[in-house]
Structure 1
Amino acid sequence: MKKFILVCFSLIALSFAVKAESIKKSIRLMAKKNHVAMTYQDAKKALFYTVENIDGIVCSVYTEGQCQKRSHKPINKTLKKKPRGFRLNIEHTWPQSKGAKELPANSDMHHLFVTSKESNSKRANLPFCDVASIFWELGGSFQGIDMSSQDCFEPRDEHKGNVARAMFYFSIRYEMPLDADQEEVLRQWHTFDPVDQREFDRNVLIRHFQGNLNPFIERPELVEQVQNF
């Protein structure tokens, strides 16, 4: 009898595992559909001059208030002046050193965002978390350690959901697992900062350039259907 019960539990567990993997596969197909890899330079231009450009202004997603004027048409390099003070660059939300170094992942705009050079440097390749002890702070974002004394980075509240959905997308699209601690935090952020119109519109703009959508922005409820990323 005990052996029979053990077999039954094993079959049930296997059934759940198969179903969970099937859900991931379905979402992965959605994420990959019509995706055309761009060069990193083309993706960067698209972000600065269209995707992140609102009425000629581009802002850092990590540090509120750090914005610069950017012409929708790249100007001649000989006439281009270096901006004073802070500088903007492109952040790989999923770090290059942890799986986003090669194409198409390196140029996939669904996890690329404009940030200030300083905040990008402070984030580096650190995991995301709710910072408990702050070592650096600017514009609503923090770098420090969590309750387990792990070095980590916390974006400002208005970007937390965006980070979560970008990380979920990358994890599923490129079959890169998230560690349990970070996944727990990202799930909380996904709920705390739901998809707004700007994020939805950004998703559509990216499809115009690289052909695909982030399913977790188009259908946020899909997050709850994934047992673990």
Structure 2
Amino acid sequence: MKKLLIILSTFSLSASTFSFTVSCSNEKDFRGGTVKLNEISNLKLNIGYVKANTPSLIAITFASKNSGILPKGTTANDFYVTDITDSSALLYGKESSKIFDSKKQYAVNIVFEIKNESLDVPIDYDQLNVGIWNQNSQGFYYSNNSEAEYYDSTKNLSGEALKNELYTISHKNFVTLSYDTAKEALVQTDLIVKDGETFIYGFYDGQLYKPKWEGGQSNDTWNREHIWPQSKFDKSTSRGDLHNLRACNVKTNAVRGNRYFKDSLTSTEKNTIVSSDAYFPGKDFKGDVSRALMYMAIQYKDLNLTNNESLIKPTNAKYMGVLDILLKWHKEDPVDAFEMQRNEIIYKHYQKNRNPFIDHPEYAHLIWENKTISDLLE
């Protein structure tokens, strides 16, 4: 029985409380987490809370539509919490409550037991950060980011001030990649493992492709998709930015072209052309698209997101959108494990910068909707 340790991020208990949920529906792909429920036994879903300096409960339960495989409501205790101030200290595994020290940091860990080798995880990563999420009354989820110090200077900022500070943070150690280097990097950032084999995870269509770059116009190969089209930015500075690049089927890439993004009236599931100017990326990729475009609007000061389609349509215009639709997609298709892991690889191994809207989804609303943290947490 293969086991995969999933670290549900680190957290500090100096604040009040948090709650978190990790969910999976039948045949639903976590893109870096699990593939199909019928290939998994004992999937642990973590639902609980922690309050500083008081006995605090962390409960882990099964939750599945397929009760024959994962009995709904069954309590699981295959988890443990570690004190990362002292990495050798195992706080507890099967206890129901524990008094936590507010001066320390902890990591929640869950064990997935897999029936075979067909679990999708990024290559060379057997510890997958899938996040701890807070949910406000609006139904929006916020991550407790393990890279918290990266964003220290953003505290209490919103609007243009937050946007400018994120620009400063992102450029502090930013490494500009050549277009060829970015091609090589995509083999690592967009890679998954399926039945013991490695594949490239295709953007927009979700299909699996051989990692080897083959070129040409075959349905079986991939190339580099610029989510913010090349025609709409300065290629000399941003062409190889991995946060804007995804591996994509050659023909799918050509069909999308440099269209901007809108909802489709005919399809809410699959990627499709909306009009001669617009494209729908598919329900499983629309959030990824929105966060990539938001990143570009932060990283490059000459790029802007707008609702004005007349500004977007000119081929070389440095506008993308539609902004209100992107904000809606950002909420409807929240950050997933594949995005998180990809963000981590780019930060640690290539560009030394992060996509802030993956780490802090709330930043989108603080910048483009003139919200404050108090507004979002009401």
| TM-score normalised over the length of structure 2 | 0.48
Give the Cα–Cα distance (whole angstroms) in 2 for the partners of residues 187 and 96 of structure 1.
22
Deviation at 1:69, TM superposition (A): 2.4
Could you tell me which amino acid in structure 1 is paired with residue 335 of structure 2?
A: V
1:1-229 matches, within 5 Å, as 20-48=159-187, 50-55=188-193, 56-65=198-207, 67-70=208-211, 85-103=219-237, 105-132=238-265, 140-145=270-275, 151-175=277-301, 176-180=303-307, 182-207=322-347, 208-227=349-368
Deviation at 1:81, TM superposition (A): 9.9
CA contact (8 A) 1:30 1:215 kept: no
Give the Cα–Cα distance (whole angstroms) in 1 for the partners of residues 274 and 200 of structure 2.
27
Deviation at 1:151, TM superposition (A): 2.4
Deviation at 1:61, TM superposition (A): 1.1
| Greater RCO, 1 or 2 (C-alpha within 8 Å, sep 6+) | 1
Deviation at 1:99, TM superposition (A): 0.7
Aligned residues with identical type, % of pairs: 32
TM-superposition CA deviations, 1:112-158 (whole Å, max 9, x none):
00111111111111110002368xxxx9201123xxxx720011111
Deviation at 1:97, TM superposition (A): 0.5
Could you tell me which amino acid in structure 1 is paired with residue 204 of structure 2?
A: Y
Name the SS for the 2:368 alignment partner.
Answer: coil
Change (3 A) 1:118 1:85: closer
Higher strand share: 2
CA RMSD across the alignment: 2.6
Could you tell me which amino acid in structure 2 is paired with residue 61 of structure 1?
A: F
* Alignment match, 1:9: none
Unaligned runs of 5+ in 1: 1-18, 75-79
Give the Cα–Cα distance (whole angstroms) in 2 for the partners of residues 227 and 209 of structure 1.
28
Name the SS for the 1:90 alignment partner.
Answer: strand
CA contact (8 A) 2:262 2:274 kept: no
Unaligned runs of 5+ in 2: 1-157, 309-321, 371-378
* Alignment match, 2:138: none
Give the Cα–Cα distance (whole angstroms) in 2 for the partners of residues 114 and 42 of structure 1.
14
Give the Cα–Cα distance (whole angstroms) in 2 for the partners of residues 129 and 81 of structure 1.
29
Could you tell me which amino acid in structure 2 is paired with residue 187 of structure 1?
A: L
Give the Cα–Cα distance (whole angstroms) in 2 for the partners of residues 81 and 141 of structure 1.
22
Give the Cα–Cα distance (whole angstroms) in 1 for the partners of residues 254 and 217 of structure 2.
18
After the TM superposition, list the runs of 4 or more consecutive aligned residues in structure 1 that deviate by more than 6 angstroms: 80-83
Give the Cα–Cα distance (whole angstroms) in 2 for the partners of residues 188 and 40 of structure 1.
31
CA contact (8 A) 2:183 2:224 kept: yes
Higher helix share: 1
